Amino acid sequence: MDHTQKFYIDGTWVDPIGSKTLEVINPATEKPITTIAMGNEQDVDVAVTSARKAFDSFASTTPAERIALLEKIIEVYKRRMKDLAVAVTSEMGAPTGLAEAAQAPAGLGHFTATLDALRDFTFEEKIDTTTVVREPVGVCAFITPWNWPLNQIVAKVAPALAAGCTMVLKPSEIAPLNAIIFAEILDEAGVPAGVFNLINGDGLTVGTALSAHPAVDMVSFTGSTRAGVEVAKNAAPTVKRVAQELGGKSANIVLDDADFEDVITRDVTAMVVNSGQSCNAGSRILIPSNRMNEAVEIAKKAAATIVVGAPDAEGTTVGPVVSQAQFDKIQGLIQKGIDEGGTLVVGGTGRPDGLQEGYFVKPTVFADVTNDMTIAQEEIFGPVMMFIGYEDEDDAVRIANDTQYGLAGMVSSGNPERARRVARRMRTGMVHLNGAPLAANAPFGGYKQSGNGREFGKFGLEDFLEVKAIFGDNQN
């Protein structure tokens, strides 16, 4: 059933209060796919009221009951994986292979990791004569982005359900179709009415109303640092909890004892996955200054293997970026890199050869970049990376930490102990050693202006719990 013109509130698909709509654009063709309804402040109030009404009952469920609910959701999610992947490809341009192998499965991975965490989680403990109880934080508002949509939706929804919270989700209006299917999954799985609610809309209207709503106890936001600041300001008057996963400008330190051929080939191709639209992408590749030329030659060979094209075409490794606005921003920053003196190794402005429509960006590598250049400080969110030279290990760490962000970092070395030592000096919430991937049961989040709070596994579950001390409850 087509639910694009409806919202999911109180366990049913309902008509919006207003009449505003928005076209969803396929970024590979620049043509509309469908039209969605857009919510307003009144829709938000209805959804929050539904979540508030459902809270007391759902908060009193047992962990065993919530385990059974997550197990049922996982069962239904698996059946809808193909539908989710198709939606992600059409609305945000992820190549079919990436959508099927990573985008849709990311949500399943978070449900599974949360289920494992819930099975082992201790909600009560005794400290002398005191009982310490962990209870659901309340009604939660979720504002999620378009780049890894299911990853970020489920990283919030799964632990909130596990904790016993109720919620309202506002997905990105740029890529909303996967969220509509996600709501269908939760409905089929039997999530009680009012526990999960979905409203489509823009950040200025629906996002602001959710983050400011007095009946919302917590807002969890993933997106740009600029937008995260506004969310925090809107939430401040009601002193609600705010969890944020924001921007990044991650440094990838390649130490002089690393295998340059393997590491640079691996990391250049990894950087352009999802068209570079990942907050934790290692876009600043730090190289010993005296080996810059060697790194550039390897990067050229690696870039030549990247295939930019239609997301559903066989062999495509990089699809379009998500929108005209993103395309224009990336083009402007590539030009800025040229103007400020970066050496353009491959790529540059304009679409790749043979692509006349769609928001396709040339995978771009700059060399001889200094860390004070615009492209080294601003999050580009596209398939653009830069080589920055360093003099020694201390200099590499200094450059890596010289940023307002602190989401992720990477270190590669032939000596694992040396890599660990450097990793501990990096002011980031996560560090990948020698290409190690993310783990769904380990904490995801950043330092500094990359946000606060942590997601994934038991760490995400803890973010949705309040801690209560009951003094004198544990008397002998």
How do beta strands 196-198 and 166-170 pair? parallel
Which among 165, 184, 279, 455 is annotated as catalytic? 279
Length of the chain: 476
And the tokens for 256?
């002089």
Nearest alpha-carbon partner for 2 in 103, 87, 73, 66:
87
Give CA–CA dist 39/45, Å, rounded.
10
Bridge partners of residue 388, in order along the sequence: 286, 369
**Which H helix or E strand runs over 430?**
strand 430-433
Q: CB neighbours (10 Å) of residue 354?
A: 8
And the tokens for 208?
């602001």
For 80, phi and psi rounded to 5 degrees? -100, 10
- Which amino acid is present at 38? M
Give CA–CA dist 454/429, Å, rounded.
9
How do beta strands 447-448 and 218-222 pair? unpaired
- Which amino acid is present at 258? A
Give CA–CA dist 423/251, Å, rounded.
11
How do beta strands 196-198 and 343-346 pair? unpaired
Contact 199, 45 (CB under 8 A): no
- The full DSSP string for 219-238 is EEEES-HHHHHHHHHHHGGG
How do beta strands 405-406 and 384-390 pair? unpaired
Compute, in degrees rounded to 10, the torsion defined by CA atoms 15, 17, 21, 22. Answer: -90
Q: CB neighbours (10 Å) of residue 415?
A: 11
Using DSSP's 3-state secondary structure scheme, residue 21 falls into strand
Contact 407, 429 (CB under 8 A): yes
Is there a catalytic annotation at residue 279? yes
Which among 91, 245, 379, 455 is annotated as catalytic? 245
Give CA–CA dist 88/171, Å, rounded.
13
Give CA–CA dist 417/421, Å, rounded.
6
Contact 111, 122 (CB under 8 A): no
Residue 237: partners with Cβ closer than 8 Å, 6 or more residues away = 212
- The full DSSP string for 66-101 is HHHHHHHHHHHHHHTHHHHHHHHHHHH---HHHIII
Annotated catalytic sites, by residue?
245, 279
